[in-house]
Amino acid sequence: MDSVVLRTMQWRDEGGGLWVATFNRPQVMNALDTHTSLDLRDIFAPLRFDSSGVRCVILTGSGQRAFSAGGDLKERQGMSSDQWRAQHAIIEEGAYAVMNCSVPVIAAVNGIALGGGLEIAMCCDFIYASRSARFGLPEVTRGIIPGAGGTQTLARAIGERKAKEIILSGRQFGSEEAYSWGLINGVCDPDALLPTVLQVARDICANAPIAVRQAKKAIHQGLQLDMTSALEFEVQAYERTIATEDRLEGIAAFNERRKPNFKGR
């Protein structure tokens, strides 16, 4: 099993195309400093166009207390306006790299996910959370607003009115509320969180990689379009799967009553 330690993150191969990326600053509740955003960019940006054998990624935090408590305000103390803008551009690069990753990314929220931490989780394709996790976008209580996608991803996940309530009040909420609104896909006991997400990820990894990537693209891009354009986009994504070896293998496996062996070709 390969493991790469970056500046503030760990990148671990679980086998079968499954990788786990872990925020590794537990002493500060995995707060997002500049190096963390650079690590996010360095991990996920190359996967936008070339999956390099990666079939699914789990993003989580080290320790039991936090997925990520958000932007590192100690690092930001004393920054000029120009320095703040330059640093925030790096945060945007990291967040957008996660959002634009071609393979599925699952957030395993093991504790607090506030501010930028919740924004990064919402950049993932879907979220599982510990029963003890806490969420919130408290930026307005610090004189700013969510700026790593939060005003857009939250509204798309739970609706405009609820998103306005959460962002404008800055209040925190728990896993059960998040689940009831459709923000997260499942609530797990703390010890069961990572095993549950690993199994979901392995189920994804067992499927045809090209088909998975095209389905993800069709869903995400289609939601930005009107229905007629979205259906056209879906057919284009479908066409990409027809000439693949995996399509032939999937049909052969069905008729031979065996599990398919997809190779991403």
- Side chain identity at 78, as an amino acid letter? G
Sign for the pseudo-dihedral over CA of 81, 86, 90, 96: positive
Alpha-helical regions (H) of the chain = 34-44, 73-76, 81-99, 116-123, 150-158, 160-169, 175-181, 190-205, 209-222, 227-242, 245-255
Catalytic site residue from 14, 139, 232, 249: 139
Catalytic site residue from 93, 119, 160, 232: 119
Answer yes or no: 119 catalytic. yes
List the beta bridge partners of residue 68: 113
Sign for the pseudo-dihedral over CA of 151, 156, 160, 166: negative
Structure tokens at 169: 């009040």
Structure tokens at 76: 């930001």
- Cα–Cα distances in Å, from 164 out to 15, 147, 226? 41, 15, 24
**Residues with catalytic annotation?**
119, 139
